[in-house]
Structure 1
């Protein structure tokens, strides 16, 4: 089990680019579909907990899954698995990038990568909405969730509110509406 945790999260960390939210679809594929360590609903709940916890979301997900599967040792092994590839790659790429940072082809490649990263993050958001039942029907629950989403997005984009205050306020609204 520990070897499976390490190898799974090492491979996820090795092939995933674009940050934690862009990694969610791959983590879901491995954890839910391939290894069947949990179902979609449990994974969606886990993303929620990982998202409001301090630190990078992908690392938080790895730690939570590792802990669920093998306790404290599993959490440590899973977090090492997901963090080591990034550490190794960042050191290697940093040394290379420092030498070629002014190259036009290198700069152009980053413009191309921005679109796919945005697409992966959007995909993760849509999958989260689908798995949480948000888009299953147009019920009162769905409309209230959409309103919370729109209000949170407006608070972040237009009023420049701090994300922590939005998280806390959204949680309080959730308690008031669904508690």
Structure 2
């Protein structure tokens, strides 16, 4: 029973003290699961995060479910998933109950405006860290920038980018990585 409680409270703490949604939770989840509790190594975390991002649903919940499953199977997924969503559920329930009393309060409006820059920083920090751990360098930095700009400015569908990225990854592996292996001068 102790491992389930440990999973629940680890993710409950993350869910309770993170503003800004799933991407703002990623550095806290990484710190808890990789560095503090050593449930995963950094490579496994990055790979698991890539899968969690590609699945439908909130990235923080998907991440919690994957880590919970990795630690304790299906019941671990339930404990971690319930832990990460319960704080949000409680907060939203309380806001819904009392929202009409403070929705036009200038202090509340200022608090939320003050939180916005912190949320941007909380999202930017893990992106930079994950970029470094996935091999993005100054030489390859143009790729995520080009993708972001094409989605934002040119209204290119993210689905098209994902499909083209999958095709490009398969082609790269099939024609470049395998050729290097066949010639004996590559390790990928």
User: Quick check: TM above 0.5?
Assistant: yes
Question: Any idea what the Cα deviations from partners look like across 1:89-142, whole Å, max 9, x if unmatched?
Answer: 11112333321111112112211111000000001100111121223xx6xxx5
Which residue matches 2:68? 66
Which residue matches 1:120? 122
Shift of 1:45: 0.9
Which residue matches 1:6? 8
Return the alpha-carbon distance in structure 1 between the equivalents of residues 143 and 168 of structure 2. Answer: 8
Return the alpha-carbon distance in structure 2 between the equivalents of residues 171 and 148 of structure 1. Answer: 14
Return the alpha-carbon distance in structure 2 between the equivalents of residues 176 and 158 of structure 1. Answer: 27
Aligned CA RMSD, in angstroms, stands at 1.5
- Larger Cα Rg: Structure 1 or Structure 2? 2
Return the alpha-carbon distance in structure 1 between the equivalents of residues 123 and 167 of structure 2. Answer: 26
Equivalences, count? 172
Contact 1:67 1:75 in 2 (8 A): yes
Return the alpha-carbon distance in structure 2 between the equivalents of residues 38 and 93 of structure 1. Answer: 35
Which residue matches 2:77? 75
Q: Which stretches of structure 1, 4 residues or more, deviate above 4 A after TM superposition?
A: none
Aligned partner (choices 17, 20, 23) of residue 21 of structure 1: 23
| 1:88 corresponds to 2:90 | yes
| TM-score normalised per structure 1 | 0.89
Contact 1:44 1:132 in 2 (8 A): yes
Return the alpha-carbon distance in structure 2 between the equivalents of residues 171 and 112 of structure 1. Answer: 39
